[in-house]
Copies of this chain bind each other. A is one copy, B any other.
């Protein structure tokens, strides 16, 4: 669920449809055609994920049990995406709201629900599913907080994103809400001016990084990540190897400071 199309080698769907329109010298706006084509491609994929699920070849009773998780996962993801849209347009940032976005848009979708879905399809016990739910939520939140830190402080060579990319995009994250909670009015005004400026240069990125670090927000997010990682690991109590060690490795990989 990343709107940026600068992070991968090939352009996003709407750019490809727009380029097709332009190359063929079709009538009307290439951009409008691009957006409409991308929406349809997304709709097709959304339909096809149902086909894949229904046609996975698993027993009907398992598919039916998993269906509840699958349905909830999609609905909550879309609601999380809407919460994120709201967060980007509401003038007053809020740490609590930003964490809520992380929970629904990232934690549940990237870790918790996939794990619960796999467990349910495999016939896991209610106790094991409760363990997965706790582990998945904590790791999912930690993973997104790490991603937010890397979006501001990450090395372009390892993240594959331009330095300070999230700042230029104007992404309103927990890291940023914490910064605005703690910094001076003058610093808040600087953040307000610079955030979302697509032409922000390296010096501008550095100034914002300084405000974020000096406010203590970076340390606070690192503490959250540590605390959530510990919570994820301790939730694994009743899980046996080999699952246990794989899930432990996942915590390390998903929250590492260097990719």
A26-B90, A47-B78 are known contacts; what are 18 more A-B pairs with Cβ within 8 Å? A21-B89, A26-B89, A26-B91, A27-B91, A28-B88, A33-B85, A37-B85, A40-B78, A40-B82, A42-B43, A43-B43, A43-B78, A46-B46, A46-B47, A47-B71, A51-B71, A54-B64, A60-B64
What are some 11 contacts across the A-B interface (CB < 8 A)? A26-B90, A27-B89, A33-B85, A39-B39, A40-B81, A42-B43, A47-B74, A47-B75, A50-B50, A54-B64, A60-B60
Chain A residues within 8 Å of B, Cβ to Cβ: 21, 26-28, 33, 35-37, 39-40, 42-44, 46-48, 50-51, 54, 60, 64, 67, 71, 74-75, 78, 81-82, 85-86, 88-91
A51 to B78: give the CA distance in the assembly, Å: 15
* Cβ-closest chain B residue relative to A35: B35
> Lowest 9 CB-CB distances: which A-B pairs, in order?
A26-B89, A47-B74, A27-B89, A50-B50, A60-B60, A51-B71, A44-B78, A46-B46, A28-B89
Count identical subunits in the complex.
2
A39 to B33: give the CA distance in the assembly, Å: 15
A206 to B46: give the CA distance in the assembly, Å: 43
Contacts of A86 in B (CB 8 A): 26
A36 to B39: give the CA distance in the assembly, Å: 10
Contact A54 B67 (CB under 8 A): yes
* Cβ-closest chain B residue relative to A29: B89
A33 to B60: give the CA distance in the assembly, Å: 40
A43 to B46: give the CA distance in the assembly, Å: 8
Q: Could you tell me the distance in whole angstroms from the C-beta of A39 to the nearest C-beta in chain B?
A: 6
Contact B37 A82 (CB under 8 A): yes
Contacts of A26 in B (CB 8 A): 86, 89-91
**Which residue of A48, A50, A64, A75 has the most chain B CB atoms within 10 A of its CB atom?**
A50
Q: Could you tell me the distance in whole angstroms from the C-beta of A259 to the nearest C-beta in chain B?
A: 29
* Cβ-closest chain B residue relative to A48: B75
Contact B71 A36 (CB under 8 A): no
A82 to B71: give the CA distance in the assembly, Å: 27
Q: Could you tell me the distance in whole angstroms from the C-beta of A104 to the nearest C-beta in chain B?
A: 13
Contact B85 A36 (CB under 8 A): yes
